[in-house]
């Protein structure tokens, strides 16, 4: 059966927008119907790459075009809500880059409107569509590493400094989305501390810790002020450990047969000794697929089927509520903040 043709308008063609154009163009039964940006030089760049793609500086050209079925938003975060709402109101399905919006209240409005209009709303948590992260999830869910105890993540580099959001909102959504995916549940509380070293109003270094209801724990260190680019994550189970290095070209995942064991019984404290187990390390084979291509195809599939995307609007809301709580903790000097919020209790049903 021939797939329904979907035409996607891409709004924003700065760093990420052209990648969306390329992947939607390459997806089966899909057209990059038009590209919108206020910068004529960026539009000229896209036109040079793809001469057949329409370009415009007016967003109204996108939402008023009956031949465009969906809108992909790759603008600064402060514009996500306005553009997303206008597109949904015009009857367009919406894909929006992370974070979904500038506040949880804005996210709720997007989710509600998508549900009301019966439209697909999806958030660009790209790493959840990558082979390494999906493989890690498969290993964790199989029970191979035992009980998941904690996850430690680092996302460091020199720049790119943002002017409208801090390092937590810029870098940490990637790691938060992966951790939520692996844990399979939202955290119950978090702490966040950071410092603003270059711009006194915007934190460029921060550490976020999250506690989960089953005793699980996660920490994320993010920085725009480190000399070396680092993108790694350690997943510790009661039986084995996984090290994930996204910069590594081939062996991105390494599984270590390592653990610490406590003695089953002892008569007195002098007999108590920890046992350290050091086994083999192996690197599983991974499929080589571009995560963004997988993500774009998933968006198109959900439009056609009506199924809820894996990274739905509800997931986007959940993550922004965590970012808001992190901001609250930052403002309170790292105080613990509970997460008794709407999205964390909401059912995961429908297109939103």
211 in the same domain as 141: yes
Query: Is the residue at 343 inside a domain?
Result: no
pLDDT of res. 352? 65
CA quadruple 306, 309, 312, 314: dihedral, nearest 10: 70
The count of domains in the chain is 2
pLDDT of res. 350? 45
Query: Is the residue at 263 inside a domain?
Result: yes
Domain closes at, from 233, 265, 282: 282
- Report the mean per-residue pLDDT for the chain: 92
Is residue 347 predicted with pLDDT exceeding 50? Answer: no
To the nearest whole percent, how much of the chain has pLDDT over 70?
A: 93
Is residue 264 predicted with pLDDT exceeding 70? Answer: no
Cis peptide before 99 (omega within 30 of 0): yes
Please give the average per-residue pLDDT across 224-247, as a whole number: 97
231 in the same domain as 203: yes
Please give the average per-residue pLDDT across 214-231, as a whole number: 96
Which residue has better confidence, 340 or 177? 177
Q: Is 269 helix (H, G, I), strand (E, B) or coil?
A: helix
249 in the same domain as 160: yes
CATH code, 218 = 3.30.360.10
Query: Is the residue at 71 inside a domain?
Result: yes
pLDDT of res. 209? 98
156 in the same domain as 112: no
Residues 162, 202 contacting (CB under 8 angstroms): yes
Least confident of 37-46, 176-185, 198-207, 264-273: 264-273
Query: Is the residue at 322 inside a domain?
Result: no
Is residue 18 predicted with pLDDT exceeding 50? Answer: yes
Please give the average per-residue pLDDT across 210-216, as a whole number: 94
pLDDT of res. 342? 47
Please give the average per-residue pLDDT across 188-194, as a whole number: 97
CATH code, 11 = 3.40.50.720
266 in the same domain as 200: yes
Q: Phi and psi at residue 159, in whole multiples of 5°?
A: 80, -175
260 in the same domain as 198: yes
Beta bridge partners of 221: 154, 207
Domain closes at, from 226, 247, 282: 282
266 in the same domain as 154: yes
Based on the number of CB atoms within 10 Å of its own CB, is 137 exposed (0-12), middle (13-18) or buried (19 or more)?
Answer: middle
296 in the same domain as 275: no
Is residue 1 predicted with pLDDT exceeding 80? Answer: no
Tell me the C-alpha distance between 299 and 297, whole Å.
Answer: 5
State which residues form the domain around 13.
6-127+291-309
Is residue 231 predicted with pLDDT exceeding 90? Answer: yes
Is residue 343 predicted with pLDDT exceeding 50? Answer: no
Domain closes at, from 263, 282, 301: 282
150 in the same domain as 121: no
Q: What is the DSSP letter of 239?
A: S
Residues 251, 86 contacting (CB under 8 angstroms): no
Tell me the C-alpha distance between 16 and 80, whole Å.
Answer: 14
158 in the same domain as 248: yes
pLDDT of res. 263? 64
23 in the same domain as 153: no
271 in the same domain as 164: yes
pLDDT of res. 272? 58
pLDDT of res. 155? 98
pLDDT of res. 275? 72
Give the range with max mean pLDDT: 128-137, 158-167, 257-266, 284-293. 128-137
To the nearest whole percent, how much of the chain has pLDDT over 90?
A: 84
Query: Is the residue at 342 inside a domain?
Result: no
Is residue 15 predicted with pLDDT exceeding 50? Answer: yes
pLDDT of res. 349? 40
Least confident of 5-9, 281-285, 309-313, 342-346: 342-346
Is residue 127 predicted with pLDDT exceeding 80? Answer: yes
Contacts of residue 166, defined as CB under 8 A and 6 or more positions apart, other chains included, come to 194, 196, 202, 203, 204, 206, 327, 330
Cis peptide before 345 (omega within 30 of 0): no
């Amino acid at each position: 059966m021939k797939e329904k043709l979907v035409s996607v308008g891409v709004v924003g063609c700065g760093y990420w927008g052209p990648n969306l154009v390329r992947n939607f163009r390459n997806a089966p039964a899909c057209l990059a119907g038009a590209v919108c940006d206020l910068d004529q030089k960026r539009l000229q760049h896209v036109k040079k790459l793809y001469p057949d793609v329409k370009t415009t500086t007016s967003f109204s050209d996108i939402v008023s075009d009956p031949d465009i079925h969906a809108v992909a938003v790759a603008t600064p975060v402060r514009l996500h809500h306005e553009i997303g709402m206008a597109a949904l109101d015009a009857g367009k399905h919406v894909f929006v880059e992370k974070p979904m919006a500038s506040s949880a209240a804005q996210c709720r409005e997007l989710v509600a409107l998508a549900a009301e209009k019966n439209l697909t709303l999806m958030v660009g948590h790209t790493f959840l569509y990558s082979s390494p992260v999906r493989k890690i999830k498969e290993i964790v869910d199989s029970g191979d590493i035992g009980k998941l105890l904690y996850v430690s993540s680092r996302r460091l580099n020199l720049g790119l400094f943002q002017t409208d959001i801090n390092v937590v909102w810029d870098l940490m959504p990637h790691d938060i989305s992966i951790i939520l995916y692996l844990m399979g549940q939202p955290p119950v509380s978090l702490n966040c501390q950071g410092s603003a070293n270059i711009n006194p109003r915007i934190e460029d270094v921060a550490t976020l810790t999250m506690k989960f209801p089953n005793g699980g724990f996660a920490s994320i260190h993010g920085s725009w002020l480190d000399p070396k680019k680092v993108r790694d994550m350690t997943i510790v189970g009661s039986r084995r450990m996984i090290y994930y290095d996204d910069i590594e070209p081939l062996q991105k995942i390494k599984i270590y047969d390592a653990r610490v064991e406590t003695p089953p019984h002892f008569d007195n404290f002098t007999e108590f000794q920890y046992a350290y187990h050091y086994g083999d390390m192996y690197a599983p084979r991974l499929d080589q697929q571009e995560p963004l291509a997988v993500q774009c195809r998933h968006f198109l599939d959900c439009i056609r089927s009506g199924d809820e995307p894996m990274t739905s609007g509800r997931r986007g809301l959940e993550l922004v509520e965590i970012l808001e709580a992190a901001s609250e903790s930052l403002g309170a000097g790292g105080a613990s903040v509970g997460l008794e919020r709407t999205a964390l209790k909401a059912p995961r049903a429908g297109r939103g």
